[in-house]
Amino acid sequence: MSAHYLLSAEASRLATEKGWANPKWFRPAVDPQKIRDLMQKSDARAMRDTALWLGAMCVAAGCAIALWPSWWSLPFWLIYGVLYGSGADSRWHECGHNTAFKTAWMNNAVYQIASFMMMRNPAVWRASHVRHHTDTIVVGRDPEIVAMRPPDLLRIALMFVGVVDVYNAFKRMFSHARGRIDPEEAMFVALKDHPKVFMVTRIWLTIYAFTIVLSILTASILPLMLVGLPRLYGAWHHVMTGLLQHLGLAENVSDHRLNTRTVLMNPISRFIYLNMNYHLEHHMFTKVPYYNLPKLHELIKHELPPPERSIFGAYLRLVPVLVKQLQYKEAVIVQDLPFGATPYRREVEILKTYAV
């Protein structure tokens, strides 16, 4: 990671002095009652989608095991991997916001399961994601900036097969198991939560150790194909969709319309991604559950830039931006707003000088 993006007391101080930290985010004027209606949570809807997700995983795993070690098992491993290594990402996210289920313990149960699958310590990442929403793409404050400038294409390529995340995850796990918190994590994880971090990590490492021992005793990679390895071979979908959330957009602004994008996606990707393709809407109204985001989009789209029409189209638009950034040039996408929309704040005038 570029030193420019590291979290530290000095970086936080500079971001605060420049007025970037904890900004007053733009939010479109909308009938509060309509937003309250969209914020209503449903156990039934979340249970149905969770059952479909876990059920599909069980069916895919069962078929893969039955056909193992034949190559006919490969398509089922691919399905299982995506549901495990990418589907868990969006469940981790939504249940971390406590918006999927109406019942709190259900959110927490799925959050814990998905956190294990994604190798994200639940206490660390809950705090991390709160900071991400408070200081979205604010350099020196947001711990979840994925694509820095200039973009490290090798690192991004390795992310598609989970190598970067898994390496960092185990590095942090071994540190947590010894009772140590990373200096960057200490910037946003409360001291009272440190014991939770250490306890969860030790449980997880025990599970992984048991899985490895089982593989050795059975002289088979099969246990690891079910637990652990899907985080590698199934990561590509959550990376593909997750990069589009903020890549190529502005840093250090106070309007989510400048640093977050919505991308229209096919139904399968939307199920895996739990409608987080409506990411701009999610950042503006974080308490709206994933199943109501399409309705939220329709409610406020007159104030938003037009969404990208597809995953492919969104990446195609990113190419010239990334090329310029690789040449150490300032380059961002600044989309035109619909006629009659609330204008961007004055900060956009600077951005437009190097908009692509």
Of 265, 239, 22, 52, residue with least CA distance to 134 = 22
Q: Say if pTM beats, i.e. exceeds, 0.85.
A: yes
Q: d(Cα 231, Cα 225) in Å, to the nearest integer?
A: 10
Residue 308 is given by DSSP the state B
pLDDT per position in the chain (356 positions), as tens? 556 788 888 988 989 988 899 999 999 999 999 999 999 999 999 999 999 999 999 999 999 999 999 999 999 999 999 999 999 999 999 999 999 999 999 999 999 999 999 999 999 999 999 999 999 999 999 999 988 888 889 999 999 999 999 999 999 999 999 999 999 999 999 999 999 999 999 999 999 999 999 999 999 999 999 999 999 999 999 999 999 999 999 999 999 999 999 999 999 999 999 999 999 999 999 999 999 999 999 999 999 999 999 999 999 999 999 999 988 888 899 999 999 999 998 777 667 667 77
pLDDT value, residue 68: 95
350 vs 73: CA distance, rounded Å: 54
pLDDT attached to residue 62 = 98
**Token pair recorded at residue 224:** 């690891």
For residue 97, is it left (φ>0), alpha (ψ between -120 and 50) or beta? alpha
The string over 42-52, giving b where at least 16 C-beta atoms fall within 10 Å of a residue's C-beta and e elsewhere, is eeebbeebbee
Residue 257 class from Cβ within 10 Å (0-12 exposed, 13-18 middle, 19+ buried)?
buried
Locate the domains of the chain by residue range: 3-354
